[in-house]
Amino acid sequence: MAEPDDRLGAGDHLLDEREISDELAHELFAVVDALEESPTLRRVVTDPGTAPPARSEFIAAVLGDKVSTGCVDLVAEAVRRRWSGGRTFAAALERQAVRAQLVLADRAGQLDETEDELFRFARLVEADTGLRNALGDRTVDRSSREELVSQLLEGKVTPATIVLAKRAVAARERSFGHTLEGYITLAAAQKDRVIATVRVARPLSAEQQQRLRAGLTRQIGRDIALQMVIDPDLLGGVRVEFGTEVIEGTVAGRLAEARKLFS
């Protein structure tokens, strides 16, 4: 089961206090991979029976000159916290690596584009059973599955989209799609926005999207990032999902309610 975001996000300030670079983002991913490959390392750096300074000194010695000083300092500070287990710690570090990539995309003026591309790619994979199975087949070497993602996206999307889509192959959140959803949520949070998945029978015009976004923003009191999904089965109207809440305004939804009344 995925850990609550508030627990994984406890170390967000550790990244926010540092100079974020592409090097740091890739190094954090490398540390996560090392933790995933070594149960012993995960156990040692999160052992509650070992004093935090000792855990910090240990990981600093392990990383040594393999990564930058900034990465060593961040990880060494993170292990001082109390974690429920090694995999939770690895997930928390991966969160920071993802956030670092998103910060870099934001600086390049590509955050909105990256968020939308991740969403579209997630929808593409979900709709294609063969592709979904190919990316989720753990009997196939992970590097081969990452290469498949590169072949599909290279030259078509932002650099951050490629990096994150390849990382999602590890499927930390149960599946490729769920993992990408987590990345998309972090992208929205970067701009303090809430993601609203809008399902419509046919595309909305730019004016309609603007009115919908404004109405939802007033309703929940936060800026909204709209992710549009075309679903002909809805017949008409709009279905909006954000978090666990659903606003049903579709013809299909109203027909379903009417059937319930007379069943």
**Whole-prediction pTM:** 0.77
| Residue 9 predicted with pLDDT over 80 | no
Taken in order 190, 206, 179, 137, the sign of the CA dihedral is: negative
pLDDT at 57: 96
> Which of 36-50, 93-107, 162-176, 242-256 is least confident?
242-256
User: How far, in Å, CA of 93 to CA of 89, rounded?
Assistant: 6
| pLDDT band, residue 98 (cuts 50/70/90) | very high
Q: Report the pLDDT averaged over residues 168-177.
A: 84
pLDDT at 1: 40
* Dihedral over alpha carbons 154, 155, 156, 161 (to 10 degrees): 50
Domain ranges of the chain: 1-107, 109-190, 193-262
Q: Report the pLDDT averaged over residues 194-208.
A: 80
* 40: DSSP letter: H
- Contact of 75 with 31, CB cutoff 8 Å: yes
| Residue 256 predicted with pLDDT over 70 | no
- Contact of 100 with 15, CB cutoff 8 Å: yes
| Residue 30 predicted with pLDDT over 90 | yes
What is the CATH code of the structural domain delimited by 1-107?
Answer: 1.10.520
Place of tokens 């951050």: 160
Give the pair of three-digit tokens for residue 156.
Answer: 């078509």
Q: What is the CA radius of gyration of the chain?
A: 21
Describe the chain by its helix, strand, coil percentages, rounded to 5. Answer: 65, 10, 25
pLDDT at 208: 82
| pLDDT band, residue 260 (cuts 50/70/90) | very low
pLDDT at 169: 93
| Residue 261 predicted with pLDDT over 90 | no
- Contact of 196 with 227, CB cutoff 8 Å: yes
The Cα-based distances of 140 to 32, 133, 214 in angstroms read 20, 11, 45
Amino acid found at 81? R
- Contact of 249 with 238, CB cutoff 8 Å: yes
Q: The domain at 193-262 falls in which architecture?
A: 3-Layer(aba) Sandwich (3.40)
- Contact of 173 with 136, CB cutoff 8 Å: no
- Give first-to-last CA distance, the chain, whole Å: 37
The Cα-based distances of 216 to 76, 119, 196, 242 in angstroms read 42, 20, 9, 10
Q: Nearest Cα to 245, choosing from 194, 211, 201?
A: 194
User: How far, in Å, CA of 89 to CA of 75, rounded?
Assistant: 10
pLDDT at 243: 63
Amino acid found at 37? E
Assign 2 to helix, strand or coil. Answer: coil
256 or 88, greater pLDDT: 88
Assign 191 to helix, strand or coil. Answer: coil
Query: For all residues of the chain together, what is the average pLDDT?
Result: 85
For residue range 218-245, list pLDDT tens digits in order: 877 777 778 777 877 776 777 787 766 7
Strand ranges for 105-208 from DSSP E: 193-200
